Structure 1
Amino acid sequence: METSAQGITAPAAIYEIAGRRFKVGARGFADAIADAHAAHQRPRCMCLVEGVEMYVARLSDGYIVKRMPDTGSHHAPDCPSYEPPAEFSGLGLVLGSAIAEDPATGETTLKLDFPLTKMPGRSQLPPASGDSDSATSDGTRLSLRGLLHYLWDQAELTRWHPGFAGKRTWATVRRHLLHAAEHKLARGGALRARLYVPEPFSIDERDAINARRLARWGSAVPAPGKAQQLMLLICEVKEFLPARYGFKAIVKHMPDQALAIDEQLYRRLVRRFEAELALWGASDNIHMVMIATFGVNGVGVASIHELCLMPVTRQWLPMKDGYDMELVERLKRDGRTFIKVLRYNLPQEQWIASAILTDTPDSPVPLFIAQSSVTDEVSELRLESSPAADKQPNWTWEPWHGPMPPLPSR
């Protein structure tokens, strides 16, 4: 992961390279990391007194300092390179198996459990049963939901700092998602080449935007006798509507292009994402993010093959339910700095922290929301078995027992 955060009042990283210290972007920094790459030197992030080893990756347009695999939790909590221990979220299940980073090249290989091709005449629909339309992987491959969570994490859209308020627009989300997809390989090719994230819509730029979209979607048009190449879409859904045949998804920032959904997939969509759709329908303060695989037929109609939904706040922070949203809003109102925790391929019954506070005095504090569907004894047992329980203090809210307890001090 790149060590620069969203660049909004967050602390700047300082690296020690060949005995000299540089802030990111300072004079001489670009030359220093280029020299370090040529000399196979490891810069050190100086967020802690002893420093944390990093590495330099070469990109098409220069060089970048990245953290070593599995070292995010070794950094200071306010460091842009900090990441909670992988076992605190669903990342621990897939890191090293479905997600493999190569410091030598700076590339990350992703193993997916869903297809990106479609053979002629074959229908590919997600399974009718299970925890999710695609989130049933055992960790050796990323589900569709797991991929969305990974990119959201890599784009740092799970992080919140008070300085981000009012500055996280769709344009910001899009830019960070596309950047997160760079230097990621999937199904033998570049993930970035498969990914389409709609541009912010502008009436004045309508024709140019549509032309760029059609050019990008050209690779998803089938060729006679060959497997159709599918693309990935990450977008905000405006609504799902009946169509003349089947249904369609209306996507924000793409008013000129709906995506077709056949009846079987739509029934599964409504059944699997009943809770998410109810949450979305109950509040105007919720965005609905969709990740989908899709193809384009010979007359230019785009059809969704598989999809997953993720409700998020107005600030694009993922949430599971209304309690999750209440906690996030409380943290934002109190001006706290935190990281939202995602479950990747983990099943819904697996209890994980909702968020991790990173502005506490001693160490980051996981925040848990107990589930109302289980007894107190089961809740306590789940908390004790949580990966966070034996590592550091934690905080738990039981919504059905009373109001939210005071948050850990800043």
Structure 2
Amino acid sequence: METIVESVPAYEIGGQRWDRTMPDFNEAIAKAHAHHLRPRCLCWTETPGVEMYVARLSDGYLIKRMPNTGCLHATDCSSYEPPADFSGLGPLVGSAIVENPVTGVTALKLDFPMTKLPGRHVPPAASGASSSVASQGQKLGLRALLHYLWDQAELTHWKSGFDGRRHWATVRRHLLQAAENKTTHGQSLLASLYIPEVFAVEQRDAIQARRQRLWARAVPRQGEPQHLLLMVAEVKEIATARYGCKAIIKHLPDQAFALDDVLYRRLSRSFERELTLWGMESELHLLMVATIRLDQAGTPCIVEMSPMLTTGQWLPVDDGWDRQLVGALVRQGRSFVKSLRYNSQGDQAEICASLLDCGTLPCPLIIDRKHSVEVAKVINFFGPARDCGAPVWRWNPTLGDMPALPLPYPAGSTSGTG
């Protein structure tokens, strides 16, 4: 993601070795796309390589992983991803998330509406706390969609060289790129996605004009279903207004978002843990994914929303234990991928992160929030972690201090040994 000094990925395309530092690399992958050639990543020196594909983006071409192959790459390869079962992504691949390597398009199935019928209120989220918390069935809830975009943008990845380089402009740029070639109900996700630009006083009018052009999609039209927009933004404040309630968003000093009383009360009830931790820790960011509409007066209104906490480095965390572990990983300069819950519930044990600097296999780091003294239950819950032969680190916060983290292998000792 960020610009740091790291090894340059090499690919085999049409029998020739290429990497992105070569002057004709962009032309080579464009030709590979035109002739339906599959590049092979050469992160393992003793294998024929891992098959990939070329996707066409608005500003060029990009070599991407084939579906469900991220864990086949070397752990120090930029294309590596932990197995889908290391997070809440596993049950959604192939059902809620369908990637087509021929077209490069990924179809997403959502469990929340993106339109509002005339004269009707948008129905509340599914039973339980909220579908913003957990989806019913194999579809993406609001939180799961945000987690998917965060994963696709590789904002869950961390290396020591990233420290101090990740800002909102970076986050926004990679989220927008992650949304490219994604569709919902056959429509472009990017066309309905609003992420606030970094605000600058001298650019106020231009920023506002670009925002209004996108928001025009959500203007109500007589007798037609009203389109809803999807917004990803950082929350500055959620409070009562002169009438009703409002959300204040960072980088949007000239516009607040209306919340109705029902949504405001449900937010406080369903996300008390996240809101309390955010209120107490000034370093944390509170992200929000929401569907929004414009009323007849042009006021933006939040229809449904789900928050997500991140550290100062924009790494997602669920609670104080999660934050403690992620903080230790960052301070120690470790290379890791943060796991996300997607639709899974918060009372389950989870793989919090996977260390990528412990050899040829990822090292899953498990936090057991079920307060269980039976370690076997935690391992059993994560059978895929055990089956892949990886070492497993476990911490039950109710039983004692956080154990020492596994030691990293010497730099450069993980790849080329397959």
- The 5 A counterparts of 1:329-344 are 329-344=327-342
- The 5 A counterparts of 1:297-316 are 297-316=295-314
Cα deviation per residue 1:224-255 (whole Å; 9 max; x = unaligned)? 11111000000000011111221000000001
Task: Judge which range, 26-35 or 175-184, deviates more.
Answer: 26-35
CA gap 1:351/1:403 in 2 versus in 1, 3 angstroms? closer
Cα deviation per residue 1:351-407 (whole Å; 9 max; x = unaligned)? 220000001124110001122x52302x53132231313322110122232222111
CA distance in 1, matches of 2:102, 2:304: 34
CA distance in 2, matches of 1:354, 1:66: 25
- The 5 A counterparts of 1:4-403 are 5-49=1-45, 50=47, 51-127=49-125, 129-371=127-369, 373-377=370-374, 379-386=375-382, 387-391=384-388, 392-403=390-401
User: Contact 1:100 / 1:109 at 8 angstroms: preserved in 2?
Assistant: yes
CA distance in 1, matches of 2:106, 2:127: 31
CA distance in 2, matches of 1:215, 1:38: 34
Task: Judge which range, 389-398 or 284-293, deviates more.
Answer: 389-398
CA distance in 2, matches of 1:185, 1:127: 22
User: Contact 2:386 / 2:392 at 8 angstroms: preserved in 1?
Assistant: yes
CA gap 1:222/1:208 in 2 versus in 1, 3 angstroms? same
CA distance in 1, matches of 2:318, 2:146: 14
Task: Judge which range, 339-348 or 252-261, deviates more.
Answer: 339-348
In the TM superposition, what is the alpha-carbon distance from 1:178 to its structure 2 partner?
0.4
Task: Judge which range, 208-217 or 192-201, deviates more.
Answer: 208-217
User: Contact 2:132 / 2:142 at 8 angstroms: preserved in 1?
Assistant: yes
Q: Please, what TM-score do these two structures have when normalized by structure 1?
A: 0.95
Q: Please, what TM-score do these two structures have when normalized by structure 2?
A: 0.93
CA distance in 2, matches of 1:291, 1:308: 5
CA distance in 1, matches of 2:354, 2:381: 17
User: Contact 2:2 / 2:165 at 8 angstroms: preserved in 1?
Assistant: no
In the TM superposition, what is the alpha-carbon distance from 1:25 to its structure 2 partner?
4.3
What root-mean-square deviation, in Å, do the aligned CA atoms of Structure 1 and Structure 2 show?
A: 1.5
CA distance in 2, matches of 1:272, 1:125: 17
CA distance in 2, matches of 1:362, 1:71: 15
User: Contact 1:16 / 1:43 at 8 angstroms: preserved in 2?
Assistant: yes
CA distance in 2, matches of 1:53, 1:399: 41
User: Contact 1:126 / 1:134 at 8 angstroms: preserved in 2?
Assistant: no
CA gap 1:72/1:79 in 2 versus in 1, 3 angstroms? same
CA distance in 2, matches of 1:6, 1:92: 27
Match of 2:201, SS state, is coil
CA distance in 2, matches of 1:180, 1:25: 23
User: Contact 1:128 / 1:268 at 8 angstroms: preserved in 2?
Assistant: no
In the TM superposition, what is the alpha-carbon distance from 1:132 to its structure 2 partner?
3.7
Cα deviation per residue 1:165-203 (whole Å; 9 max; x = unaligned)? 101000000000000000000122100000000000111
In the TM superposition, what is the alpha-carbon distance from 1:139 to its structure 2 partner?
4.6
In the TM superposition, what is the alpha-carbon distance from 1:121 to its structure 2 partner?
2.1
CA distance in 2, matches of 1:130, 1:374: 23
Corresponding pairs, count: 404
Q: Structure 1 counterpart of 2:30, which letter?
A: A
Match of 1:236, SS state, is strand
User: Contact 2:126 / 2:136 at 8 angstroms: preserved in 1?
Assistant: no
In structure 1, stretches of 5+ residues that fail to align are: none
CA distance in 2, matches of 1:237, 1:303: 15
Match of 1:376, SS state, is coil
Cα deviation per residue 1:68-98 (whole Å; 9 max; x = unaligned)? 1110000011111111101111110101000
Cα deviation per residue 1:261-306 (whole Å; 9 max; x = unaligned)? 0001100010000100011011001000000000012322000000
User: Contact 1:125 / 1:305 at 8 angstroms: preserved in 2?
Assistant: no
User: Contact 1:361 / 1:409 at 8 angstroms: preserved in 2?
Assistant: no
CA distance in 1, matches of 2:394, 2:326: 14
User: Contact 2:274 / 2:308 at 8 angstroms: preserved in 1?
Assistant: yes
Q: Structure 1 counterpart of 2:203, which letter?
A: E
